[in-house]
A and B are shown apart, each in its own frame.
Chain A
Amino acid sequence: MKLSLTRRRALQAGGSAAFAAFALPARAARENPFGPPDLIEAAKKEGKIVYYTANFTEVEQEVIKAFNKRFPFVRIEMVRAPGGQLITRIKTEAAAGKLAADVIDHSDRGLMLELQDLFQDYAPPNAADYLPSVLVSPKLWPRVTLGWSIAYNSALVKNPPKSWLDLTKPEYGNGQIGQVIAPSGGTTWTRILFERKILGEDYWAKQATTKPRLYPSGAPASDALVRGEITIAPLLYNIVWTKKRDGAPLEIFFPPEGVPVTPMRPRSRRPRPIRMPPSSSSTGASRRKARLS
């Protein structure tokens, strides 16, 4: 309890800094890529962020490790839960006045929009680089661009598919294909709608004839692919790429019909690592930010 009070006090001090961060033009942001020095100093004093995420623990540990290289003085305390459970936790905690999170990362924009009153306006230093159409609220910020690819186990598949439509062919039937179910989260809904809009209204029915194996999310599906439980699967590139990098027998390609993505920053001049804004650390309980991945 004491901790959250302390944070609330720190927040009062940090309010103007947050506004300043929002007002920074793109050029200033490049000069101070992590926010103004007083904000970083405030973060140092507070020393902790409680971070809720629906992403996978291991992936987030990597992000936290990278963040802590730059900001070793800010401890990240992470709570990870599947999307639906996380939303329930956030809603219940908030209603009881005990929302512990400082930053929330969730993949479902629709669900987060319902909760936007919980968060404070915020803008990262590079706010001007974001595509305006992805900014649904000044309280919610896209965090990462995720794109769908098709991956296959190269040790087992001799005649790999080459397109989304190939996945409806009988030769890939009988449980060879793994599919992540639609309600898994926001990114999966993106792929599902892409299939209906671009590949045709009957794509789902055609796909069902191959009797795909269903997975609750991308991570267990990617593991099953590596093990050879399934041999082909549409998967988010970032999930399978790390496994391929580490030597797993995988091949990945982007199908010619198109790639369902959750776009973020097409105006970015050079690729930048994903990072948690340091300004968030100096805020606190009532100055929470939500991030959409």
Chain B
Amino acid sequence: MAQAANALVLPVARARAPRLPLARWLWSGGILVALAFLVLYPIAMLLVGALTNANPIVEGIRVGDLSPANFIAVLANPNVHAALINSLVVCGAGTAVAVVIGLTFSWIVVRTDTPCKTLIAATSILPLFVPPLVAAVAWSILGSPRTGLLNTIFAGFGLDWRVNVYSMAGLIIVFGMYYAPYVYMFTSAALRNMDPALEEAAEVSGANPTRTLLTVTFPLILPAIVSGMLLSFIVMLGIYGIPAVLGTPANIPVLTTYIFKLTAWSPPLYSTAAAVAIILMVVTGVLVWLQQRVLSGRSYTTVAGRAFRPAQLKLGPWRYLTLALAVIYLLIVVVLPTLALVIASFRKFMFIRDIAALFDLRAYGSVHYDRLFANPLVLRSVINTIEVGLITAVLGGVFAFAIGYTVTRTQAPARKSIDVISTLPVAIPGLVIGVAYLWAWIGLPGGLYGTIWILALAFIARFMPDTIKALSSSLMQIHRELEEASWICGRGLVGTIRAIVLPLARPGVVAAMALLFILAIRELGSSLFLYTSETMVMAVLLLDYYEGGNLGITAAFSLIQTMLLAVAIAIAHLLSRGASNKVGLGRTG
């Protein structure tokens, strides 16, 4: 049927963009050069670092020094084994939790008549925008086994319950809660696009709703579940903040915390860190490849092309239970952690002996905020963060549009290579690539190092796959006929993009830029080696405060960063209202 439809439009589809072979080669060549600079060169530096025992800038690169010895030593190191196993267990189980939460909420939002669905939908996405370090600090305040606020409150009420987030289970649940949105976004879209006729057929055949859900609905959206699952796993694998805060007190090292430790030790073990990073990249790379395969299979399982409205299950009084589930999730993931940060930021010391001490107003004051605002670096970091976020959003948005358009809409040469190279950064955690950016770009002429621009370049490179993904979906929604009509009417390629593609794709472009802005505000890993005194950004300063051991100031600064993110999200929401694509396939470091 679909093939027949294609055959009908063929004569029109023969219209082609104006043919300028040299220009097309120059265009593709230009993009490839930019990608080589932004992606391949830093990765090559990282590989050199892993295969030698030297800093490639300090000692130079000598081919004779390259040896797998360092890499083999890392592979044989029992500490690396322990970190790798912990990473796989924590992220694997965390993904399972994320699937349960994400799938439940996507089903509630799309397929049931639960009240307040807009609120539930927003709640399901919200945790994505909480920086991992902030979430972890908040949960350490709430769920530490000895001094956690929740435990103090339980004890105050004579309850024998205890929460311990400094544990494998704690790590898994916190990961699961904060990365469930990835599963939600994939599965809710799939559920929305699914033809209800299949479920109706099951019901007509006598299957009850639960059986229909388990035997028809979920199997049909399995590719979406798997791709959401893989993405959340990949993202968790690259996260530093959560295992650093919650895993370290329980002596649970994961690959990212192990890498960070190697770089921070005195003396630093960079080549070892780079080799461990390569392991992380390989694991992530395999998963990305799997995800791509699953995504490419998606079109076989979801039915599209006809207008329909997914059937909604009438839950009756049970709809209040589903609403309650959403409210509890909101409470656990957003309200309680924010409250914990507020308490910690206003309390002079976070020693709370019992529940009465929690309400002792003499223990509260604005001392942490006073100290925070007395530090000139704070204001500077806020300004720098906004500045670097804006540059990243604009330049990254334009570059991603160029790549997305080239890959999805043109016959330009080397399209496949451009696609593959621009996807590579998804497999490299920020913490790992940070030092590679430094090695790769510090020697560039023109004084790039030490400016905001080098940070922006790193963010553009790191988040390119996310931006392109967000953009491509909106580009794909514009039917080719519209461009072809423009070409037939004599407009050139650039004119067509300006007059037809850009106006139609605008909501998607704005959403992608907003996503880039938000991701840039949160990004820690790749900033660590590129900032200088004048280009300090908020994420780095937050880590400084956390490492400096003052929980009160850390909490106060976390709240400021969260507020800035909330404002950014609100503006992004306003700007991209009406955009059909999803904001937020973001990764973090």
Q: Which of B57, B248, B264, B443 has the most CB of A within 10 A?
A: B264
Say whether A223 contacts B348, CB under 8 Å. Answer: no
What's the minimum C-beta distance from B326 to chain A, rounded to whole angstroms?
32
Hey, which chain B residues are within 8 Å of A85, CB to CB?
263-264, 268, 528-529
**Which residue of A has the minimal Cβ distance to B59?**
A95
A78-B377, A92-B439, A213-B249 in contact; A226/B350 too (CB < 8 A)?
A: yes
Say whether B547 contacts A220, CB under 8 Å. Answer: yes
Say whether B353 contacts A155, CB under 8 Å. Answer: yes
Q: Which of A84, A100, A183, A228 has the most CB of B within 10 A?
A: A84
Is A83 at the interface (CB under 8 A from chain B)?
A: yes
Instruction: Give CA–CA (A61, B545) in the complex, Å.
Output: 12
Instruction: Give CA–CA (A88, B528) in the complex, Å.
Output: 12
Please count how many residues in chain B sit with their CB below 8 Å of the partner chain's CB atoms: 53
Instruction: Give CA–CA (A217, B248) in the complex, Å.
Output: 12
Hey, which chain B residues are within 8 Å of A110, CB to CB?
267
What's the minimum C-beta distance from B539 to chain A, rounded to whole angstroms?
14
Is A279 at the interface (CB under 8 A from chain B)?
A: no
Q: Which of A89, A217, A247 has the most CB of B within 10 A?
A: A89
Per-position binary interface string of chain A over residues 32-65, scored 1 when its CB falls under 8 Å from any chain B CB and 0 otherwise? 0000000000000000001100001111010000
Say whether B266 contacts A84, CB under 8 Å. Answer: yes
Which residues in chain A, 75-110, are within 8 Å of chain B measured between CB atoms? 77-85, 87-89, 91-96, 98, 100, 107-108, 110
Contact of B534 among A51, A77, A183, A229 (CB under 8 A): A77
Is B553 at the interface (CB under 8 A from chain A)?
A: yes
Is A280 at the interface (CB under 8 A from chain B)?
A: no
Instruction: Give CA–CA (A215, B144) in the complex, Å.
Output: 15
Hey, which chain B residues are within 8 Å of A243, CB to CB?
349
Hey, which chain A residues are within 8 Å of B317, CB to CB?
none
Is A278 at the interface (CB under 8 A from chain B)?
A: no
Say whether A219 contacts B549, CB under 8 Å. Answer: yes
A88-B435, A249-B351 in contact; A223/B266 too (CB < 8 A)?
A: no
Hey, which chain B residues are within 8 Å of A260, CB to CB?
none
Say whether B551 contacts A227, CB under 8 Å. Answer: yes
Hey, which chain B residues are within 8 Å of A10, CB to CB?
none
Say whether A83 contacts B266, CB under 8 Å. Answer: yes
What's the minimum C-beta distance from A191 to chain B, rounded to whole angstroms?
13
Hey, which chain A residues are within 8 Å of B265, CB to CB?
83-84, 183-184
Is B481 at the interface (CB under 8 A from chain A)?
A: no
A227-B551, A228-B146 in contact; A87/B263 too (CB < 8 A)?
A: no
Is B306 at the interface (CB under 8 A from chain A)?
A: no
Per-position binary interface string of chain B over residues 340-356, scored 1 when its CB falls under 8 Å from any chain A CB and 0 otherwise? 00000000111101000
Contact of A88 among B263, B447, B541, B548 (CB under 8 A): B263
Is B533 at the interface (CB under 8 A from chain A)?
A: yes
Hey, which chain B residues are within 8 Å of A25, CB to CB?
none
A78-B377, A249-B351 in contact; A96/B266 too (CB < 8 A)?
A: no
Hey, which chain A residues are within 8 Å of B549, CB to CB?
56, 217-224, 239
What's the minimum C-beta distance from B10 to chain A, rounded to whole angstroms?
57
Is A248 at the interface (CB under 8 A from chain B)?
A: yes
Per-position binary interface string of chain B over residues 222-234, scored 1 when its CB falls under 8 Å from any chain A CB and 0 otherwise? 0000000000000
A92-B442, A227-B147, A227-B351 in contact; A57/B544 too (CB < 8 A)?
A: yes
Is B134 at the interface (CB under 8 A from chain A)?
A: no
Hey, which chain A residues are within 8 Å of B268, CB to CB?
83-85, 87-88
**Which residue of A has the minimal Cβ distance to B140?**
A229
Instruction: Give CA–CA (A50, B541) in the complex, Å.
Output: 17
Per-position binary interface string of chain A over residues 100-127, scored 1 when its CB falls under 8 Å from any chain B CB and 0 otherwise? 1000000110110000000000000000
Instruction: Give CA–CA (A264, B262) in the complex, Å.
Output: 30
Is B302 at the interface (CB under 8 A from chain A)?
A: no
Say whether A58 contacts B553, CB under 8 Å. Answer: yes
Say whether A246 contacts B147, CB under 8 Å. Answer: no
Per-position binary interface string of chain A over residues 190-216, scored 1 when its CB falls under 8 Å from any chain B CB and 0 otherwise? 000000000000000000000001111
Instruction: Give CA–CA (A185, B534) in the complex, Å.
Output: 26
A83-B266, A85-B268, A213-B249 in contact; A50/B350 too (CB < 8 A)?
A: no
Is B214 at the interface (CB under 8 A from chain A)?
A: no
Is B371 at the interface (CB under 8 A from chain A)?
A: yes
**Which residue of B has the minimal Cβ distance to A54?**
B266
**Which residue of A has the minimal Cβ distance to B264?**
A82
What's the minimum C-beta distance from B530 to chain A, rounded to whole angstroms?
10
Say whether A214 contacts B251, CB under 8 Å. Answer: yes
A85-B264, A100-B532, A229-B147 in contact; A1/B447 too (CB < 8 A)?
A: yes
**Which residue of A has the minimal Cβ distance to B450?**
A100
Instruction: Give CA–CA (A63, B368) in the complex, Å.
Output: 18
Is B329 at the interface (CB under 8 A from chain A)?
A: no
Hey, which chain B residues are within 8 Å of A59, CB to CB?
548
Say whether A92 contacts B58, CB under 8 Å. Answer: yes
Is B449 at the interface (CB under 8 A from chain A)?
A: yes
Say whether B350 contacts A58, CB under 8 Å. Answer: no
What's the minimum C-beta distance from A113 to chain B, rounded to whole angstroms?
12
Say whether B438 contacts A92, CB under 8 Å. Answer: yes
Q: Which of B144, B268, B544 has the most CB of A within 10 A?
A: B268
Contact of A92 among B55, B144, B249, B371 (CB under 8 A): B55
Q: Which of A59, A100, A220 has the most CB of B within 10 A?
A: A220
Hey, which chain B residues are within 8 Å of A93, CB to CB?
442, 449
Say whether A217 contacts B442, CB under 8 Å. Answer: no
Is A153 at the interface (CB under 8 A from chain B)?
A: yes
Is A142 at the interface (CB under 8 A from chain B)?
A: no
Hey, which chain A residues are within 8 Å of B439, CB to CB?
92
Is A186 at the interface (CB under 8 A from chain B)?
A: yes
Hey, which chain B residues are within 8 Å of A184, CB to CB?
265-266
Hey, which chain A residues are within 8 Å of B411, CB to CB?
none
Say whether B267 contacts A224, CB under 8 Å. Answer: no
What's the minimum C-beta distance from B99 to chain A, rounded to whole angstroms?
32
Instruction: Give CA–CA (A184, B449) in the complex, Å.
Output: 28
Per-position binary interface string of chain B over residues 264-293, scored 1 when its CB falls under 8 Å from any chain A CB and 0 otherwise? 111111100000000000000000000000
Instruction: Give CA–CA (A91, B261) in the complex, Å.
Output: 19
Say whether B545 contacts A57, CB under 8 Å. Answer: yes
A78-B533, A92-B442, A96-B442 in contact; A247/B348 too (CB < 8 A)?
A: yes
Say whether B449 contacts A88, CB under 8 Å. Answer: no
Say whether A89 contacts B375, CB under 8 Å. Answer: no
Is B477 at the interface (CB under 8 A from chain A)?
A: no
Which residues in chain A, 247-265, are within 8 Å of chain B measured between CB atoms? 247-249
Say whether A96 contacts B449, CB under 8 Å. Answer: yes
Is B550 at the interface (CB under 8 A from chain A)?
A: yes
**Which residue of B has the minimal Cβ distance to A76?**
B533
A88-B55, A93-B442 in contact; A185/B348 too (CB < 8 A)?
A: no
For the A-B complex with A82-B547, A218-B549 known, give 10 more contacts whose Cβ atoms are closer than 8 Å. A57-B544, A81-B528, A92-B438, A107-B266, A108-B267, A217-B547, A228-B351, A229-B249, A247-B348, A249-B351
Q: List 20 A-B contacts (CB under 8 A).
A: A57-B375, A57-B548, A58-B545, A79-B533, A82-B264, A83-B265, A84-B268, A85-B264, A85-B529, A91-B57, A96-B57, A153-B351, A183-B266, A219-B548, A219-B550, A221-B549, A223-B549, A227-B144, A228-B353, A249-B349
Q: Which 6 A-B pairs have the closest CB atoms?
A: A219-B549, A84-B268, A77-B533, A82-B264, A223-B549, A183-B265
A residues sitting closer than 8 Å to B (CB atoms) are 1, 50-51, 56-59, 61, 77-85, 87-89, 91-96, 98, 100, 107-108, 110-111, 153, 155, 183-186, 189, 213-224, 226-229, 239, 243, 246-249
